[in-house]
Structure 1
Amino acid sequence: MANAHNHAEASHGSVKSYAIGFILSVILTVIPFGLVMYPSLPKDMTILIVVAFAVIQIVVHLYYFLHLDTSPAQRSNVSAGLFTAVVIALLVGLSLWIMFSIHTNMMAK
């Protein structure tokens, strides 16, 4: 019973890992916010940077707060998350493709 309790505690992060995750999240939020509030780059570059920081922030949240990593205990969770991401990307991407195709075909007449 004591081993199960220790294993449950081992899967949770330490105060240090939560602090690192929080600091990274704040940095990954403040930089894009500053770029949008005080535009100094072209609009396309700003959008690209904001999207890149958003993707990096998702990875930070998954690693530091949800504790998803490549350990054997988390492999099934990571696999399920990747499968979900692929399905969502396909649904959104193909839906946008269909709507764009319909729009261009309707406007051609």
Structure 2
Amino acid sequence: MSDAHASHDGGNHGSVKSYVTGLILSIVLTIIPFGMVMSGGFSTMTVFVTISIMAILQVLVQLVMFMHLDFKTEEGWNVGSFAFTALILGILVGGSIWIMQNLHANMMLGG
């Protein structure tokens, strides 16, 4: 008997092993940047890049291990909709940061 459970639509839920693996990976991907920030021995840019990379990896672990998003052809719509959502989110966040930085750089100081 397998640990994977079939859902009503024929898809498989994850096994206990995949959930435990996802949990351990999530904890490790959280501890690494937390340890870097708490130690204080790294430059700001190094910490920023590490936090960004670990956050992206954390999202991928969550999607694959807990949300069961994979790249099978049957789930092409799921992957496509996720990619579109990520693109729109990237444009929104990147554009907001760009606008705020531009406002900060061009703001008139004093009167």
TM-score greater than 0.5 by the shorter chain:
yes
Query: Which amino acid in 1 is paired with 2:64?
Result: Y
- Alignment gaps of 5+ in structure 1: none
Q: Quote the residue 1:61 is aligned against.
A: 62
Superposed CA RMSD in Å reads 2.4
TM-score (norm 2): 0.80
Aligned residues: 105
Cα deviation 1:18-73 (Å, max 9, x = unaligned)? 11101100110111111111122112111111111111111000000000010123
Shift of 1:104: 3.4
Q: Quote the residue 1:40 is aligned against.
A: 41
What is the identity percentage for the equivalent residue pairs of Structure 1 and Structure 2?
42
**Cα distance in 1 between the residues matched to 2:7 and 2:32:** 42
Q: Quote the residue 2:73 is aligned against.
A: 72
Q: Quote the residue 1:15 is aligned against.
A: 16
| Greater relative contact order (Cα < 8 A, sep 6+) | 1
SS in 2 for 1:68: coil
Q: Quote the residue 2:96 is aligned against.
A: 95
Q: Quote the residue 2:3 is aligned against.
A: none
Q: Quote the residue 2:31 is aligned against.
A: 30
More helix by share: 1
**Cα distance in 2 between the residues matched to 1:78 and 1:84:** 10
- Alignment gaps of 5+ in structure 2: 1-5
**Cα distance in 2 between the residues matched to 1:18 and 1:40:** 33
Residues 104, 47 of structure 1: CA spacing in aligned structure 2 closer, same or farther, 3 A cutoff?
Answer: closer
Shift of 1:96: 2.7
Residues 13, 91 of structure 1: CA spacing in aligned structure 2 closer, same or farther, 3 A cutoff?
Answer: same
Query: Which amino acid in 2 is paired with 1:78?
Result: V
**Cα distance in 2 between the residues matched to 1:6 and 1:88:** 30
Query: Which amino acid in 2 is paired with 1:89?
Result: G
Query: Which amino acid in 2 is paired with 1:93?
Result: G
